[in-house]
Amino acid sequence: MRTNPEIAGNCPCLSGEAYSECCGRFHNGGTDAATAEQLMRSRYSAFVLLNAEYLRKTWHSSTRPTDLELDPVMEWRRLDIVSTHRGGPLDTEGIVEFKAHFRHDGERGVHHETSRFVRENRRWYYVDAVA
């Protein structure tokens, strides 16, 4: 996992909250995300921090990759939530559309994805990207 000075300050997901009060509480196992958007934000922060263990733990077993190798050269810069559909505390399915801005080898880019999430046994899981 990447050592990052942001951990002591604001959360990498740019919620405006401290990391410990936002995604950090999910990463350390203190609690589970209550909504699909919270899970999406925590997964983005896990990519920023190279926390492959958390990403695998929150990936639905039907689509979870066997191995997950994160690129340490990838610099995730900003997360924009475009829209959400369902995915609330009482829902069993949700969709989150987002744009994750990055820099890789000096080049800037945007990863734009619409992600599907399911809630099973009171926990949200990332399933896949909607085509």
29 Cβ contact list (under 8 Å, min separation 6): none
CB 124 within 8 A of CB 33: yes
The pLDDT of residue 1 is 55
* Number of structural domains in the chain: 1
pLDDT at 9: 86
Tell me the pLDDT tens digit for each residue of 2-56.
544 446 789 999 999 999 999 999 999 999 999 999 999 999 999 999 999 999 9
User: In angstroms, rounded to a whole number, what is the distance separating the alpha carbons of residues 131 and 116?
Assistant: 10
Q: Which CATH number goes with the domain that contains 28?
A: 3.10.450.50
User: Residue 75 is part of which domain span?
Assistant: 5-129
Average pLDDT, the chain: 94
Tell me the torsion sign for CA atoms 119, 90, 33, 39.
Answer: positive
Residue 67 has pLDDT above 60, yes or no: yes
Whole-number Cα distances in Å, 48 to 89, 104, 121: 25, 13, 27
Distance CA 12, CA 53 (A): 17
Average of per-residue pLDDT across 95-115: 97
Least confident window among 5-9, 59-63, 74-78, 103-107:
5-9
How much of the chain exceeds pLDDT 70, in percent? 93
